[in-house]
Structure 1
Amino acid sequence: MGRVIMVLTLVLLTGAACPAAEAKVFRQYDHRLQFTVPDDWECTSQSPHQFLAMFAAPEMRYEINTLTLVHQTLPAHYTLTDYVVSTVASQEKMLWQYRLLDKQLLDNAYAPYYRLAFTWRLSWEQQYFVLQMIICRYPDVYVLTGTCPASLREVYEPLFQRVFDSFAFVG
């Protein structure tokens, strides 16, 4: 049941149903972190390496990973801000019609983190909304990415933010 992977795995997404309000805790023991996800989201892939976890909401199971978690190690000369600037520049080059909507430095109980909100298009018909949490426990960086069709932003953005708010380093 549990497999984890996270990378900006932006594939195709459609379907609209309001995800369940119940939540379950996901723990990644190798990296000593945890967060809650809606109870009906399935962990489709898990690994202790770079791609830690992937989750799919039932209505998007065959189309896109709704939530992904990736681990990277910061180069010695990088700060979290340097990493975020580099990430935004990379996303602008990789994603068609990328549009950064918001970039904020926020506080988490464990460390400050950047929250990025942006849209991009897979095609003229398919536009996605993405909310990212980029948090650092030097030298490790964790990128938690929530992706949904832009038309479902109002449904999924609060769910993604609840996941971000529940993120914790343990042990």
Structure 2
Amino acid sequence: MGSTDASPGRPVENRDRDSEGRARNARPRDGLGRPLPYGADGVARQPEGVVRAPERTVTEAQALLDAGKPFHAHEVFEDAWKSGPEDERTLWRGLAQLAVGLTHAARGNVTGGARLLRRGAGAVEDWAARSGEPRPYGMDLAGLAAWARELAQAVERGGEPVDAGARAPRLRGPAAS
């Protein structure tokens, strides 16, 4: 359990730490990754640092997106970005940006959600143009970019949180609108 005493010059005692001693927030999280009070029932976190085959990354991320858990899908993409081949890092980082953009849009953060959706759209389009692969691992990058830009506009027009599960993209097929 974390301490609330963070006075200058005084160490913070009882901070949440992982097995290597790094600070980690152990508070439970909701489906959109927001921290809940200690002791509350939360959604199981995605394990960090998992190395997956690209096809498994896409399948797991899609299941999380469909379940309305884009924050968790972002963590799956982040694992691929950090552990995958150097020439694919831009692709996976762009997909992580799309997922976290949807997370912010679902949380009601209009500006951040729209900005990240557009940034992710640009990243996956740029990667497809540079690599010559518009459908890596069966993903429809042009469709995902179009989905992200449409959602960014809708979020800015409506100004209200979106339903993450209902607005989830289809990674391997026509993107949901």
Is the radius of gyration larger for structure 1 or structure 2? 2
Structure with bigger strand share is: 1
Q: Which has the higher contact order (CA 8 A, sep 6+)?
A: 1
* TM-score, normalised with respect to structure 2: 0.24
Structure with bigger helix share is: 2
